[in-house]
Amino acid sequence: MNEKLINRCSSRIVMQSKYLNKLWVYGVYNSQQQLVFMSYGTLKEIIMMSPFKTIEKFNENEIYTSVLIQPCDNKIAAENALSHWIKNSELEGTTPPFNIYNKSYNNRYFIQCLENGRYYQTASDIVKIFNVSQSALSNHLRGLPGHRSVKGLHFKYYTGPNPAEIEQAGGYKLLSNGFGYKSVPSDDPINRLGITDTEKREQIALLVGRYGGEIW
């Protein structure tokens, strides 16, 4: 009797269907079984070796092994899990050598409102929550002359450890549970569920007035 095909093939995918559409934190090993890269992506991106194959250290003639580590529901959870696994890999917190050549790895950031101290994942969330202009916010974040604030509010890019809470447009926030994030209703007076435009304007005015509209 012929040997089973599963025992004759070195490449295989072990998967439950519920994980097919998740973002996966994964590691890549070189032919010497050294962990050289860690990131997250869809299964298609991992199989296509994106963005790994665009890194200048990538050797198209070398055999690499990708290891699926953890499925995540969203980008924030994936970024948090990636940080966790880098700290807890065999590299003991040292950045995998190929990661330093990956621009997207070194350019993740959040945005913080200085008036309320809250964090936001994207500029689009801020535009929707505070009803401000996308272009005005962009000019403010880039520090262009004449844009010291946005309707009296001040924002800055934040690149430190992942925040414990991250506001989401629509009345929700991502809340850290120590390992990942879960989405829960926001307790921010400006971003609470069901808030009207009039109530939002009043809350923003209170927030700006608390600091006199100028905090630099």
Residue pair 122/170 in contact by the 8 Å Cβ criterion: no
Instruction: State residue 214's pLDDT score.
Output: 46
- Would you list the DSSP string of 71-115? EESSHHHHHHHHHHHHHTSTTTTPPPTTGGG-GGGG---EEEETT
Angstrom distance (rounded) from CA 23 to CA 71: 6
Q: Kindly state the DSSP code that residue 58 receives in the 8-state scheme.
A: -
How many Cβ atoms are within 10 Å of 136's Cβ, its own excluded?
Answer: 15
Burial per residue of 80-105, b for 16 or more beta-carbon CB atoms within 10 angstroms, e otherwise: bbbbbbbeeeebeeeebebbeebeeb
Q: Kindly state the DSSP code that residue 123 receives in the 8-state scheme.
A: H
How many Cβ atoms are within 10 Å of 53's Cβ, its own excluded?
Answer: 11
- Can you give the pTM of this predicted structure? 0.52
Fill in the amino acid letter for 147: H
Question: What dihedral do alpha carbons 198, 140, 167, 25 form, nearest 10°?
Answer: 150
Q: What is the full per-residue pLDDT of the chain (216 aa) written as tens digits?
A: 578 877 878 777 788 888 888 999 999 999 999 999 998 889 988 998 877 887 778 898 999 999 999 999 888 788 788 888 888 899 887 778 887 666 554 445 688 999 999 999 888 899 999 999 988 998 888 788 888 889 899 998 887 777 889 999 999 998 887 666 788 999 999 999 999 999 999 999 999 887 654 443
Q: What are the φ/ψ torsions at residue 114 (nearest 5 degrees)?
A: -75, -25
Q: Kindly state the DSSP code that residue 19 receives in the 8-state scheme.
A: G
Bridge partners of 181, per DSSP, are 176
SS3 at position 164:
coil
* Contact residues for 51 (Cβ-Cβ < 8 A; gap 6+): 39, 45, 102, 104
Residue pair 99/38 in contact by the 8 Å Cβ criterion: yes
Residue pair 185/193 in contact by the 8 Å Cβ criterion: yes
Residue pair 43/24 in contact by the 8 Å Cβ criterion: yes
Angstrom distance (rounded) from CA 61 to CA 139: 45
How many Cβ atoms are within 10 Å of 168's Cβ, its own excluded?
Answer: 20
